[in-house]
Each structure stands twice: as C-alpha cells, then as structure tokens.
Amino acid sequence: MKIAVLNAGGDCPGLNAVIRGVVLKGDRIYEHEFVGVKDGFRGLVEDDIVPLPRQHVRGLSKVGGTILGTSRVSPFVDGRTDRVKEVLAKHDIEALVAIGGEGTLTVARMFHDDGINVVGVPKTIDNDLSATDRTFGFDTAVSIATESIDRLRTTGEAHSRCMVVEVMGRNVGWIALHAGIAAGAHAILIPEVPVTRDQVCGWVQHAMDRGRAPVVVVAEGFSFPGEDQQASSERTDTLGRRRLGGIGEQVTRMVEERTGIETRNTTLGHLQRGGVPSSFDRVLATRFGTAAVDSVSARRWGTMVALQGIDIVNVNLHDA
C-alpha cells in the first residue's frame, strides 16, 4: 500500500520519532511504500510530496522539529477537499497518516467523512486532547519549563525578587501545573482555576515574608476572572489569529505595583517546543507511530491511536 505521512500545526518534540516508527514498521513488517507531505496541508494542496524511504528516517527519534516541515495552512480550497483527493489520486496514495493536534485531527475526521482513508496520531505539547492520557511533546516541554524555573529561582533568591514565568498552554494549564509542582512554585495560574489578583499577591507576600524568593508560574491562556485575555489581545499573526502572550508581563506589573516587591518576568515561548525530545516522548511517539501503521494495515479508517493507562488503543476520530 502507498501511504502518505503528514504532520500539521505547531511542531512538537517527538514528531520525527512518530514518522520513523510509521516508516520502519510499515516498511519492514508490512512492505508498504511511504511518501511525506511537506509543510502540513500546504503540501497536500500544492502537490509537494516527497519519497520517504526507510533510509530517510534512520536515527530520527532523537531529532527535534520535523523532517517534513509543518504549517497551519488549511487544506480546504473553497471549502472542499477535491484538490486533496486529486493530489492523493495522482500519486496513487491509498492512505494518510495525519499527525496533529485538535485542528489537524478535526480536519482528519472531515477527510474521513469525505471518503479519504485516514488514521490520526495525537500531537501537542499542551496535552489537551481528551481521548488520550498523554500526548508526546508534553513531557519534554515540562522538563524544559521545570529546569528553567529552577534556574530562575536561584537568580530570584540572589536578588530577593519575585520571579514570574509564563509557559505555553493556549487553552489549558497542564504544562504550568506540572512544571510548577515539579519546581515547587508558590503560585500556579492556569485557565481551569479562577484566582484573583488579591490571592496571587497574598501568596507572593506570604512567601516573601518567610524569606523565600516567590515564584509564580502562569499559563499563557490564563486570565483573571471577568477579563478575557483573548478578547483584549491586539496582536494577530500572519494567519489573522489573535495572539495570546503578555499575561506574564501583566502579572509581573500587578505584583510589583501591589506588593512593592521587585519582580521580573520570563516568557519561555518556543524554547519549550525546540530541541531533542525526552526519552519518554521518544518512546511514546515511537509506540504511536508503529500503532498507527498497524491501524492503516488493518484498514481501521477514521481512528486515532491513543494512550490509555499503559496501553496504546484505537479511538474513533469522532469521539476524539
């Protein structure tokens, strides 16, 4: 069978390990042929398809980024998938392995509904896909954030300052929560749990009073109750999406003004997505990749591989 592998949306440590898992098992066990789609859905629409032989994926599990490139381009031309079908047919591609987050997997479901043979693989550092207990990339992001907070703590202690650290998490606080707990933060601000300005300043002051350098971890999607950060954001990106960011700076100003404690902000940003994946993410990504090619071979179209407990399972893309 000829299979195309595509990743779309933001990159994520472990993407290359998934691609390697798909191709190695697919080639060796099932004797499938593979091609890669360049830069996410852009490659499908613009017919940018490259051969993906076994030799191209050797040694990839430890490499960050993605050898295929990625983008957030939409595959729908005039709201239809005709162009995608045309490109797949031109290359005799029978199936698509789509690796992505919420947006990409929603598109994968629509492709399936439209008759395209597709199997999904969940991907996001944010860990915000409900059908899987973990997404690969999350563990790496948490490790980077934890190490960063540890480092910021020592400089904060040296100056008796409060250190605010903004971590990624557009809609959820998983990275903030895990890194904050691991690093022993005094306050962790996440979108799921409302906290007031008074509470945050109280926690900071309490830590300072005990002779500690207060550490506040805030998820980029957090906002104080009654304030919609997204709605108030003026910045838009090249795709016209409202950009988050700046909540760390806001919290920093607020703490300094209200408590008088000297405070500094660090926004970790894309540092959390770059570089080598952790061993946990390499293993999870490899398991997802090999399971995805099993699903393709069993023609379980419209499903996604997922981690439930310690097992890799298949869930329906509609449920995911």
Known binding-site residue numbers: 10, 72-73, 101-104, 124-126, 161, 168-170, 220, 264, 270-273
* Nearer residue to ligand F6P within complex by CB, 78 or 228: 228
Give the torsion through C-alpha atoms of 15, 219, 229, 123, to 10 deg: 20
Binding residues for ligand F6P, rule CB under 6 A, total 10
Does 70 sit near ligand F6P (CB under 6 A)?
A: no
For the CB of residue 145, give the shortest distance to ligand F6P in the complex, in Å.
11
Residue 126 annotated in active site: yes
Does 277 sit near ligand F6P (CB under 6 A)?
A: no
Per DSSP, the residues of the chain read -EEEEEE-SS--TTHHHHHHHHHHHHHHTT--EEEEETTTHHHHHTT-EEE--GGGGTTGGG--S-TT--------BTTB-HHHHHHHHHTT--EEEEEESHHHHHHHHHHHHTT--EEEEEB-TT---TTSS--BTHHHHHHHHHHHHHHHHHHHHHHT-EEEEEE--SS--HHHHHHHHHTT-SEEE-TTS---HHHHHHHHHHHHHTT---EEEEETT---TT--HHHH---B-TTSPBP---HHHHHHHHHHHHH---EEEEE-GGGGTSSPPPHHHHHHHHHHHHHHHHHHHTT-TTEEEEEETTEEEEEETTT-
* Nearer residue to ligand F6P within complex by CB, 168 or 293: 168
* Nearer residue to ligand F6P within complex by CB, 109 or 273: 273
For the CB of residue 186, give the shortest distance to ligand F6P in the complex, in Å.
23
Does 127 sit near ligand F6P (CB under 6 A)?
A: no
Q: Determine which residue in the list 10, 36, 75, 248 makes contact with ligand F6P, applying CB under 6 A.
A: 10
Q: Which of residues 160-219 bind ligand F6P (CB under 6 A)?
A: 168-170
The token pair at 155 is 């400089």
For the CB of residue 3, give the shortest distance to ligand F6P in the complex, in Å.
26
For the CB of residue 311, give the shortest distance to ligand F6P in the complex, in Å.
25
d(CA 63, CA 220): 26
User: In angstroms, how far is CA 63 from the centroid of its own chain?
Assistant: 16
The token pair at 66 is 């993605």
> Site mask, ligand F6P, residues 219-248, x = CB under 6 A?
-x----------------------------
Q: Determine which residue in the list 126, 166, 256, 294 makes contact with ligand F6P, applying CB under 6 A.
A: 126
Q: Which stretch binds ligand F6P (CB under 6 A): 36-44, 88-96, 123-131, 157-165?
A: 123-131
* Nearer residue to ligand F6P within complex by CB, 136 or 203: 136
* Nearer residue to ligand F6P within complex by CB, 198 or 237: 237
d(CA 288, CA 219): 27
**Which residues make beta-bridge pairs with 217?**
165, 188
For the CB of residue 169, give the shortest distance to ligand F6P in the complex, in Å.
5
d(CA 179, CA 166): 11
Q: Determine which residue in the list 40, 43, 100, 101 makes contact with ligand F6P, applying CB under 6 A.
A: 101
For the CB of residue 166, give the shortest distance to ligand F6P in the complex, in Å.
11
Cα Rg of the chain (Å, integer): 21
- Among 11, 27, 39, 126, the active-site one is 126
* Nearer residue to ligand F6P within complex by CB, 265 or 290: 265
Known binding-site residue numbers for ATP: 10, 72-73, 101-104
Does 134 sit near ligand F6P (CB under 6 A)?
A: no
Query: Which residues sit at the interface with ligand F6P, rule CB under 6 A?
Result: 10, 101, 124-126, 168-170, 220, 273
Question: Which residues carry out catalysis?
Answer: 126
